[in-house]
Amino acid sequence: MDFNLTTKEEAFRDEVRAFIGENLSPEARKDPGFLGGWLKKIREKRWVGFNWPEEYGGGGGGIMEQVILKEEMSKAGAPPLGLCMMGLQWVGPAIIQYGTDDQKKKFLPDILDSKYQWCTGYSEPGFGSDLASLQCKGVRDGDEYVVNGQKIWTSLAAWSDWIILLTRTDFDTEDKHEGITCLLVEMKSPGIEVRPIKNMSGSSHFAEVFFDNVRVPVQNRLGDEGKGWGVTISALAHERSGISEVAGLVGQLNDLVELAKRTRRNGRPASEQPSIRRRLAKADVVIEGMRLNGQRFLTKQLKGEPLSSETSINKLHRAFLAIELGDLALEIRGSASQYVKSDNGPGMEQNRLPSGALDWPNVVIGGGTPNIQRNIIAERILGLPKD
């Protein structure tokens, strides 16, 4: 057991800190060209996809360095390491694991360059939790698949250039997990229609996506025909582990603590109210628990074992925190929490915290609901009978 960094890892951390010191000063951030310049610089350092293979434009680094990089960047409030969120978090890793050499060459560098936005086409109107029953149809026709059907809740579909799509190419299998084929589809293909859906906090970040005789070249199939479920399981583990990254949560909790200190409730600082202190402390413990669970999973990965069902543990903690932190912000602010925009107080209070109370479905429902995570743990880890 050793939570210390090695000398080499420490040197890397110092390099990251020095880079942050040079490039993230408040003055630098004010520059209108800051974000573009930032992305270019981190790309040159190969810190985007730092643990991806070098031959496809990644940094060829270790998972541990990747973790250090993300932690330091997040502590410094740096912009993201690349803009292609889904591409970097799970589409890229799935292509690295299951893709052909041509696919790796074709897709990975563009993801790293934030050239294309990716979206994820799993859920359908009839099949959400029961994803493996999906019906969107793919039919092989010569060198192409012809896709017909519908996806829904597709995040960022309206802004995306590519979609990682699950289709059913075999309707006669006994096991519903068989016969699913994963395709990488260009969103501008003829026959695709995107209809944005407005959510309860007012934005339209997800959409319905319709497929009407969309033709997809066979070389854009990821993994073998009928074997798309394996691809999905691995991508979902990456998605859940990404959803459960703690660096951002630490920042949110610190913001809440500061808010509680300067907000008066019942005539005294909210931070002195026992119920609020307890809830803040409980959130602190769960976040630290997630961080340390993550380090145990990381140890497993460092030994070369893949991520799997254990990612459901932190997904459940993340779901708890999403709701809890949003509601805690409301309790701390009291009546003022009802104003969605207010002129007093810094930006954080105007938007982020109140909307937290309405944004939680992103991480609670997205990536699989808590009940589904409990089923996964009970059935795959504890070995209880399937329901």
Ligand X SMILES: Cc1cc2nc3c(=O)[nH]c(=O)nc-3n(C[C@H](O)[C@H](O)[C@H](O)COP(=O)(O)OP(=O)(O)OC[C@H]3O[C@@H](n4cnc5c(N)ncnc54)[C@H](O)[C@@H]3O)c2cc1C
Q: Which residues bind ligand X (CB under 6 A)?
A: 119-123, 128-129, 153-155, 206, 361-362, 365-366, 368-369, 371-372, 375
Complex with other proteins: residue 303 or 341, whichever CB lies closer: 303
Q: Of 139-147, 204-212, 327-335, 372-380, which segment contacts other proteins by CB under 8 A?
A: 372-380
* Catalytic site positions: 239
Closest CA to 77 of 130, 38, 117: 38
280 makes contact with other proteins (CB under 8 A): yes
302 makes contact with other proteins (CB under 8 A): yes
257 makes contact with other proteins (CB under 8 A): yes
CA distance 147 to 165: 10
Single-letter residue type at 349: E
Measured between its terminal Cα atoms, the distance across the chain in Å is: 38
Half-sphere exposure of 233 (CA within 13 A, CB side): 15
CA distance 203 to 112: 27
Least CB distance to ligand X at residue 151 (A): 6
**44's tokens:** 């040159």
Closest CA to 95 of 137, 50, 56: 56
Interaction partner, residue 288 (ligand X, other proteins, none; CB < 5-8 Å by kind): other proteins
SS3 59: coil
SS3 205: coil
Q: Of 84-92, 210-218, 229-237, 254-262, which segment contacts other proteins by CB under 8 A?
A: 254-262
Interaction partner, residue 257 (ligand X, other proteins, none; CB < 5-8 Å by kind): other proteins
Interaction partner, residue 261 (other proteins, ligand X, none; CB < 5-8 Å by kind): other proteins
Complex with ligand X: residue 150 or 271, whichever CB lies closer: 150
Single-letter residue type at 375: N
Q: Which residues contact 291 (CB under 8 A, 6 or more apart)?
A: 246
Closest CA to 81 of 44, 26, 27, 107: 44
382 makes contact with other proteins (CB under 8 A): yes
Burial of 360 (0-12, 13-18, 19+ CB in 10 A): buried
Q: Of 69-77, 133-141, 232-240, 276-284, which segment contacts other proteins by CB under 8 A?
A: 276-284
CA distance 387 to 384: 9
Residue from 151, 221, 238, 317 touching other proteins (CB under 8 A): that is 317
Least CB distance to ligand X at residue 372 (A): 6
Interaction partner, residue 123 (other proteins, ligand X, none; CB < 5-8 Å by kind): ligand X
Contacting residues toward other proteins, per CB under 8 A: 1-5, 9, 64, 257, 260-261, 271, 277-278, 280-282, 284-286, 288-290, 292-293, 295-296, 298-299, 302, 310, 313, 316-317, 371, 373-375, 377-379, 381-387
